[in-house]
Amino acid sequence: MEAIILAGGLGTRLQGVIGAYPKCMAPVNDQPFLSYLFDYLAQQRCTRVILSLGYKHRVITDWVEEQDTLFEVDCVIEEEPLGTGGGILASMEVAETDDVAIVNGDTMFKVDLAKQMAFHRSKNAETTLALKKMKEFDRYGIVNADASGVITSFEEKQYRDEGMINGGVYFINREKFLARKLPDKFSFEKDYLEKFVKEKKFFGYESDRYFIDIGIPTDYDLAQKDFKTLFK
């Protein structure tokens, strides 16, 4: 199994807490957040990880060189910001497997990747999103899917009593994705998911596993507490 970690962002909302670190290197109990993602992907039996990097990439690559990982690690460096879609595209071009997992460098969603991949393949999907049911939230848009799992639409952020959110863990069929001839720089959410959702080639895989997005200080603080028991 191959996985791409999107770790090229600036982490603007966290800079008051972590300074100029890349978000994926934000310390959680004295370890970079990225180290916990590595642990998770090792548990999921990944054999290769591709890091999509941009902002302050040397901080990340220097750390990676010191790690003894259970999988191969390769890096794809953006010379200029390419957007979430461009980062995925550049990494997909060096991926080798038919279906590739994508995870965000500032999010921990402990999805069973083998089960998500099996679902993805059973649907002959182009892209499968891991969905998380949330209650009383306004930080995320919602994802609508029909009874068979086909994603039918995306809705913008606003307060919801409950709903399914995009948990930021994907499986993408490499051949189908690359066949779209997407531009080098684009938004994965706006210019890919929302643009092509009507083709009914995207599916949602619901998971009730642990989820946290450390992109804001309150959840970053919560991770300090949670990870003491999640990762012993």
**Amino acid (1-letter code) at residue 169:** V
The pTM score is 0.94
Domain carrying residue 122: 2-129+168-180+211-230
Is 203 part of any domain? no
Give domain status of residue 81, yes or no.
yes
Question: Domain tally for the chain?
Answer: 1
153 within some domain? no
pLDDT digits (tens, 9 = 90+) for 103-115: 999 999 999 999 9
Asked if residue 89 is part of any domain, the answer here is yes
Q: Is residue 33 part of a domain?
A: yes
DSSP state of 99: E
Inside any domain, residue 50: yes
Residues in a beta bridge with 101: 3, 171
For residue 200, tell me if it sits in a domain. Answer: no
What span, in angstroms and rounded, lies between the C-alpha atoms of 174 and 89?
A: 9
pLDDT tens per residue across span 7-58: 987 666 566 566 667 889 999 999 999 999 999 999 999 999 999 998 889 9
**CATH number of the domain bearing residue 58:** 3.90.550.10
Query: In 3-state terms, what secondary structure has residue 172?
Result: strand
Cβ atoms of 32 and 63 closer than 8 Å: yes
In a domain, 11, yes or no: yes
The sign of the CA dihedral 51, 56, 60, 61 is positive
